[in-house]
C-alpha cells in the first residue's frame, strides 16, 4: 500500500514539474502548485497511516 502512495506522490510531482515548466502565467501556476501540494500532503498522510 505504501509503495502505491509513493507512486502517487511521484506522479503528482512529475505533473507539477511539467505544468510549472509550461510557461503558464504565475498566478495560474501558483494555484496549480497549491492543488498539487494538497494532493502530496494527502498521499503523505496516507503513507504514515499505513506504515
Digitized pLDDT (tens) for each residue of the chain, 51 residues in all: 566 666 766 776 676 666 555 555 556 666 777 777 777 777 767 766 765
**Residue indicated by cell numbers 506522479:** 11
Rounded CA Rg of the chain = 12
pLDDT of residue 46: 72
H or E, element range at 21: none
Closest by CA position to 7, among listed 49, 46, 33: 46
Give Cα separations from 33 to 2, 8, 20, 50 (angstroms).
23, 16, 8, 26
Amino acid at each position: 500500500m505504501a509503495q502505491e502512495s509513493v507512486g502517487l506522490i511521484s506522479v503528482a510531482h512529475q505533473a507539477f514539474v511539467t505544468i510549472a515548466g509550461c510557461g503558464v502565467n504565475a498566478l495560474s501556476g501558483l494555484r496549480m502548485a497549491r492543488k498539487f501540494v494538497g494532493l502530496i500532503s494527502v498521499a503523505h498522510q496516507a503513507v504514515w497511516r499505513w506504515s
